[in-house]
Structure 1
Amino acid sequence: MFRIRKQFHFSASHQLAHLPDDHQCVRLHGHNYVVELELSAGHRELTPAGFVRDFGEFADFKNWLDTNVDHRHLNEVLTDRNPSAEHLAVWIYDNWIEQYPQLTAVRVSETPKTWAEYTP
């Protein structure tokens, strides 16, 4: 199995619900997010060029991130769920699995030391 990964960056704010009143994430705050897409394919599924997917084909995803989440308040974007890193990862997966059928994982980082990963 081959796996490729590509990282993307954006900045956004959010406030998390369903936490104790004194929890720091209840307050409005922001992060410099890192999103990592992982795509996988078997050796017989590679493109004629020998790729799982051409990295140049991620331009649409980068444009989508820039338009929909960069410098936005995520509570206004993910209106049907708490905008946690976990929910953001599954939301991205659900929005992009049709365009990238090889998508096997989405990772979201809010800080350099923390990651949430959705793997269906």
Structure 2
Amino acid sequence: MEIKKINYDFSVCKVTDFSLVDFESEYCFAGKTDEENSLVCITENIPDNVIEHEDGWKAFRIQGILDFSLIGILSKLSTLLAENCIGVFAISTFNTDYILTKKDNYEKAINVLSSAGYKIV
């Protein structure tokens, strides 16, 4: 299985609404619940109507399109990282999964996954 490094810095944000979000950005993940409007975006694209944000995240994704019948992929990756004291912020899309780690742990995370047999691209 291939893991693709994504060469941007990311921020996890809470926004008042999505009116100022740049949905044309290469990476932009939005979530809405009855309690909040959440956004994960490239740090340089943080909108002006942000309430809170946490910077300093890096990301990678599982390459390819994952069939919905596949079980345990994200669990295996997050377990490997947790066993090495690396916290994650996971995002799933229709096609695949993205995992964010804090910048300080990013290279360590990549090395852990590479040592476990994942191809890093």
TM-score w.r.t. length of structure 1: 0.28
* Normalised TM-score (structure 2): 0.28
- Which one has the largest radius of gyration? 1
Structure with greater proportional strand content: 2
Q: Which has the higher helix share?
A: 1
